[in-house]
Amino acid sequence: MQTPEITAYLKTYCGWSAGVRAVLAKYNLPYTEKDIIQNPAFRWEMETKSGQPLSPCVEINADQCAVCHRAARGRCEAEFVSR
């Protein structure tokens, strides 16, 4: 199985962002972190790709950008594992 290319649009101090980091670490998945607080250009990039301002947002293989929040965390984890 090929390792997916993952980009995570996260906030520096955010519980949900920490959850995304934890899932990625749990499965030892390499990813590029783009902090939307430290760099507002990353927030604009995330909003352009996802069509909404919510974070954390995770892009897998540059073909989707999905919001990962508490209600969807299990689905996000399953998506990481299945790719």
Average pLDDT of the chain, as a whole number: 83
Q: Does the pLDDT of residue 75 top 70, yes or no?
A: no
Cα 52 → chain centroid: 14
- List, in order, residues 6 or more apart from 40 with CB less than 8 Å away: none
The total domain count for the chain is 1
Instruction: Supply 28's token pair.
Output: 């030892």
The DSSP call for residue 58 is E
The answer to whether position 64 is within a domain reads yes
Residue 71 is predicted with a pLDDT of: 44
Q: Which residues form the domain of 73?
A: 6-82
The answer to whether position 76 is within a domain reads yes
The answer to whether position 1 is within a domain reads no
Q: Between these two residues, 15 and 74, which has the higher pLDDT value? A: 15
The answer to whether position 65 is within a domain reads yes
Instruction: Supply 47's token pair.
Output: 């909003």
CATH number (domain holding residue 61): 3.40.30.10
